[in-house]
Amino acid sequence: MKATLILANGSVFEGRSIGSTADRVCEMVFNTSMTGYQEILTDPSYAGQGIVMSYPLIGNYGVNQEDNESGRPWAEAFIVRHMARRGSNFRREGDLDAYLKQYNITGIEGVDTRALTRILRSQGTMNGMITCAEHFSAADCLEKIRAYRVEGTVERVTRREPQVCPALGAQKLRVALMDYGVKDNMIRCLQRRGCQVTVFPAHTPASTVLEGGFQGVMLSNGPGDPADNEAIIQEVKVLYDSELPLFAVCLGHQLLALATGAQTRKMRFGHRGGNHPVKDMEAGRAFITSQNHGYVVTRDSVDPAVAAISHVNVNEGSVEGLRYVRPNCFTVQFHPEASPGPMDTEYLFDRFVAMMEKGGARNA
C-alpha cells in the first residue's frame, strides 16, 4: 500500500506502508544507530515522536521480548529506507512489520532516509505526518502538522504504582528510582550491583522518598521538554536539598539542572544514536555513548558555585554532565546503561553505588 510522509516545511516523500495504516502526526527525529531498533522503539523517551532510521536496512534480525526496554513501544511512527520482511537470528521471535502492526505504530519504507535526515539536520527537527490515503489535502495536512506539540509525555509513560525490583544476588542497598520514562536496563544495572530498586511514579512527592529509608535516589530518562514539568522540578529540588546521594540521567539531568537554577534549550536536531563521543573532564578520557535527547542544559546558565561541567560532547562542546558542589550528586546527559562503544560508561553506576556505601544507611 502506498504511504506518504509530509513534513512541516512542505517536503513530501512517497513510499510503502509498513505497520499500522492509521494517519499519524508527530515530531520527526532521526537516529544514526545501525542496530538496536527494538530498544529504540521501546525507549519511552521517544513518546510523541516519529523515528527516521538513517541506517538503510532495518528489521534484519527480527524482534524478541528480551530486547524491549519497556513494556511496549512508545514511538508514534517509524521511517526506514528498507525493512527486511523476514528477520534472521537465533533469538528471533517475530518480524518487525508484525510488531509495528501489533502496537499500532504507523510506518513507511522506501523513503530516501539520507535526504530526509539531511533536511532534519540542516533545518532542524520538525513535525510531520504519515498518511496512507490515496487522496488528501496538503493544506489540511500542514494545518494539523503545524498545530501538533509534544506535551504530557512524562504522564503518559510513567508507572501508575510503585514497583519493587529485587537485587540480583545479595542485597546491599535500597535505591529509589523516579520513573520519568525509565529504560529497563537502567534498573538492571542497579540490581546487578546489589541494589533493591523501588521505582516510583513521576509525580511521587519527595517526602515519600525521603521517608522510605533509601540509601540513594536516581532520576531517570524520559520524553519531552523538561521545562514543562514544573511540579516535578519542585519535588526534585526537595530531593536535591536532602542528604541522599543523587544520580540523574538524561531528562533527570535536565530536571535537576532546572531545579538548581540552570536553564535548558531545545537543540536544532538533538542527539540520537549510539556513536556520540563524550569526554569525561576529570578522567581525561573520551567514551562512545548512546544518546536520545532533543534538549540540553545551557552551558552559560550553570552556576559554578552550584555545579561544575564534568562531561562535554566532543563534536560540539555541549554539556553532557554535571558534578554538583553539594556532596554525592552528579548527573549525565547520555545513557550509561547502554554500551555502544568499546569503553562503556557503566562506571557511573559504580560511582553512585560507592557514594551510597560510603554514606551508609539513612534512617527512616
Would residue 335 show up in a list of annotated catalytic residues for this protein?
Answer: yes
- φ and ψ at residue 123, rounded to 5 degrees: -100, -15
Would residue 271 show up in a list of annotated catalytic residues for this protein?
Answer: no
Active-site position among 27, 250, 320, 329: 250
Cα-Cα-Cα-Cα dihedral sign, residues 340, 342, 345, 351? positive
Question: How many residues are present in the chain?
Answer: 364
Closest CA to 363 of 171, 198, 215: 215
List the beta bridge partners of residue 244.
Answer: none
Active-site position among 27, 76, 235, 337: 337
Count CB atoms within 10 A of the CB of residue 160. 7
Would residue 250 show up in a list of annotated catalytic residues for this protein?
Answer: yes
Strand pairing class (57-58; 173-179): unpaired
What residue type is 268 in one-letter code?
A: R
Residue 114: all three cell numbers together: 539520507
Answer yes or no: are the C-beta atoms of 252 and 180 closer than 8 Å. Answer: yes
Closest CA to 232 of 198, 211, 262, 203: 203
Active-site position among 271, 276, 293, 335: 335
**Residues with catalytic function:** 250, 335, 337
